[in-house]
Structure 1
């Protein structure tokens, strides 16, 4: 059985998937090239860690496609002096990437049985500035405000209380709308009103509690 060269696989992922999708920020590309994505993937799926697919997680969630993760990181453009809120752990990989770019990352993981494994994976990579909490994003709020917020699950519409997580001039990446034609946007928390910047179309699972109410035809 052949052994995969994960270092080479990472380089190919960046050159053949990430860059062609217009992710060109050097700091982001550096993190994606260096951080072992396979360390955050279930053992049975590690050979697929660098393929252009979303991968199932043990808790029933999905690890987003690498190209989507790259676009998320580039859109929020996190600086080393900034604090980030990650809503949904993304399996820990996106949290790890943000941890390499930010001062501190707080993760809200709605699946209780996912928390310990994500903490272990982060610790194994010696990433100490990411704190993972079991919390329901649809009700969570402790008064703290962040420079950037990344939401890894879709919402039908952006809940009003999500804006309370942002500092003035902060920004939020979120995917909104109805499957299969959802819109990834960057919300800028400006003085007069939030400004929405459209980024790309995608289709990802909803955050728990954020799916649209089912419609009934009579």
Structure 2
């Protein structure tokens, strides 16, 4: 496989047509080597328009979804970011290049360990991977400028929104299959939140987040 040609095709044929037009995001996708965050047995899938399998039944989001989420966050170099669901560490690496610091929570210890290895190998030093649940073990050491959920939830918990600074943004894929939407939530004041629906997509569930009851009375 011609890796650089495959990377170019991924950017031009998958990502750019999905309205990812920010030059800094497109350039970053060429710099951060996605294939280095893919398990060796699935390396041939690194640039394909699909979710790459990881250990313990987990997966990486497709390249175009990761890129679009990154673009919509509009990160700045002084900002502190919380990621829920580290997975392989690829999204954390992208976030790290755009922000000052990334705290990434991964509930599965084996994935957290591998993500640390992947990030160290990629010389990414401003990501703190923690073995924790994004649903219950929130990082209370400081508020965040941005939060990204690298997977879907039925709804965004209020406790997670409270981790945002005023002016902060959270992006998540919300809903039930077959209909989910990427949602951008912006904290406008101490208790004010604005919501913008961005695009339709489907993503696997994040561990530990509850489902709404199917029973109606």
Indicate the TM-score class for this superposition, using the shorter chain for normalisation.
over 0.9
Q: How far has the Cα of 1:177 moved from its partner?
A: 1.1
Counterpart Cα distance in 2 of 1:211 and 1:11: 39
Q: TM-score, normalised by structure 1?
A: 0.94
Counterpart Cα distance in 2 of 1:66 and 1:17: 8
| 1:206 pairs with 2:202 | no
Q: How far has the Cα of 1:137 moved from its partner?
A: 1.1
Q: How far has the Cα of 1:207 moved from its partner?
A: 1.4
Q: What are the equivalent positions in structure 2 for 1:163-174 lying under 5 Å apart?
A: 163-174=161-172
- Contact kept, 8 Å, 1:154 with 1:210, in 2: the verdict is no
Match of 1:187 in 2: 185
Q: How far has the Cα of 1:183 moved from its partner?
A: 1.1
| 1:118 pairs with 2:130 | no
Residue-by-residue CA offset, 1:33-71 (whole Å, 9 max, x unaligned): 111111111111101100101111013211000010010
Question: Which of 17, 36, 58 matches 1:39?
Answer: 36
Counterpart Cα distance in 1 of 2:210 and 2:10: 31
Q: What are the equivalent positions in structure 2 for 1:53-202 lying under 5 Å apart?
A: 53-141=50-138, 142-191=140-189, 193-202=192-201
Counterpart Cα distance in 1 of 2:142 and 2:107: 19
Give the SS at the match of 2:14: helix
Judging changes above 3 Å, is the alpha-carbon distance between structure 1 residues 90 and 68 closer, same or farther for their aligned structure 2 residues?
A: farther
- Contact kept, 8 Å, 2:153 with 2:173, in 1: the verdict is yes
Q: TM-score, normalised by structure 2?
A: 0.94
Q: How far has the Cα of 1:10 moved from its partner?
A: 1.1
Judging changes above 3 Å, is the alpha-carbon distance between structure 1 residues 29 and 90 closer, same or farther for their aligned structure 2 residues?
A: farther
How many pairs are equivalent?
A: 214
- Contact kept, 8 Å, 2:89 with 2:118, in 1: the verdict is yes
- Contact kept, 8 Å, 1:143 with 1:165, in 2: the verdict is no
Q: How far has the Cα of 1:91 moved from its partner?
A: 1.9
Q: Considering only aligned residues, what root-mean-square deviation do their CA atoms show, in Å?
A: 1.4
